[in-house]
Structure 1
Amino acid sequence: MSRPLEWARDGRDWPHREASRFVSAGGTSFHVQILGAGEPLLLLHGTGASTHSFRDLAPLLAADYRVVMLDLPSHGFSGRPRWRQPSIAGMRDLVAEVLDQLEIAPAYAAGHSAGAAVLLRMAIDGRIAPKRIVSLNGALLPFPGVAAHLFPGLAKLLFLNPLAPRFFSWRARHGDAVARLMESTGSTISREGLAFYERLLASPAHVEGALSMMANWDLEGLRRDLPRLCVPLTLVTGTRDRAIPPEVSERVARMVADASVVSLPGLGHLAHEEAPDRVADVMREAFAQGLSRSLPAAGTGPDCAARPSS
């Protein structure tokens, strides 16, 4: 059994620890953080990250919103639901259960990378009905060509090998492997930020959770359903993103009825960690556009006119 992160030990100096709580949902425990007051704003991190990814962005947004963050299943300090696959549909259901337990219906939502895909899946399926969603370098379309089959297949092989998570966590504890990984995304983050990623990736359980998520991730269904998205969408892209090319957001914008793209020059895949002030300003401006919008309650399901896929 892979050793999970322990809150008392590994979370002793976690960002915004005072805002943390643990919520039971889907047969496991979820690490949740809530900051600020106002209309609820849900933030979802991407694969391999945790709430720490929003450590600098969340306080800026908490001046205007009640910011709700959680570690995705098998990530960070959230547990592993043994009876659920870490697919995009499984993530949709588990995040919705956490929100139900908290009795929170997000007025706004933002997700980074794979977190954005989870939010769009939830909105399309009527599990949330925010006034607007912001995608931060969203991983919203399948990899092109052979990569669409290669990367999930490789992740599945690594996940099925019980030594793989231990190997990756060993690498995270030795040398500059994590720093090189972050740089490969086109981003340069602080030494403090790197230290949190090193702590996460030093845990075989966290690495196993990320690999499992990648192995079960299928964005083809989301691609087909994007024209059904009723919620206005702002797609924020870093021009130096080497993980998710900005062209992905441009393609998605052509598939969604109400979508716009905002480019952030000089920033990479972790733009919200590199320049939280700039990202917070973009998010506030985007959310201000949805102040007068009224949407159906979560659970009613969208019924938008379809547009051709791109």
Structure 2
Amino acid sequence: MNTVNIVKFPKLGLEFTIDKVAFYIFNLPVYWYGIIIATGFFLAIVFGLRNSEKFGIKSDDAIDLVFWAAPIAVIGARIYYVVFNWHEFNGDFKKIINIRTGGLAIYGGLIGAVITAYFFAKIKKIDFLKLADLGSPYFVLAQAIGRWGNFVNQEAFGTNTNLPWGMHSGDVENYLRSLNDSGIDPTMPVHPTFLYESLWNFGVFLFLIWYRKRYKVRGELFFFYMLLYGVGRAWIEGLRTDSLYLGNFRISQLLAIVFSIVFAIIIVIRHRTSKGELVYNAANGPCDIKDCEEVCKNETECDTKEENVEKSIGESEIDNKKML
């Protein structure tokens, strides 16, 4: 199997030679796809552990959750891909479990991770919404990094485009020819939709990190993650040529639209019904009124009145313990 690709961005005058294989261990290829995804996952864990106690979550509990959620998320991502792309596998079990060359659907991984986190929180008696708020910025950061694995594999691209950053490669051309779509010219540049989603996810990450020092309702970071990621995925998915379908619908685009609407409604409802639920501590970040004293650890006074929240937010700007 040829693992080397020449990727061109004709209008930018750029050309890259990319080998899908990073190196070999005892003649076993180690792919860049796996390395890139593992890098995003590793950074998400490191940053999550670094900030877990600021959300009232013990680092040991956060580590335990990773051990459960990570494999279940991978399984969920694979099941999602296989179910909605069954014709590719025809019941071949060896092909189904072979994820080394790709075939992971992020929504399957997200659903698996959220369900695992929910039951983990129940068992450990942890507030699920605080757990979700902690992890959301880093989950989307991992997604932003992981999308570059699609670039190496030359997958997750879109239809033809005349935009300056349109790309072309041998793998892209071969795939488009296999579609036999008269509306697509395999020899012309296509949308690098992996890049669009990566940039969008980086933007969502930066917003969540910024908003984390300002939000007032538990779960809001998670809700905004689901909303904003859904909005981006909905329009980007519409450009792709390799979408997974449920009947005539792009399943990931449909889920993205539904999630965007549902979580936008949840944000509005929570703001109207949860006033005063969350307070902000300048030294340590968001905490609940009921456990603010414990989280603050006597480093500074917690503002427990809603009218003092803005004051404490202003004070946080001079704090030396800035969260990444």
Higher relative contact order (CA 8 A, sep 6+): 1
Structure with more strand by fraction:
1
Same fold (TM over 0.5): no
Structure with more helix by fraction:
2
TM-score where L is the length of structure 2: 0.28
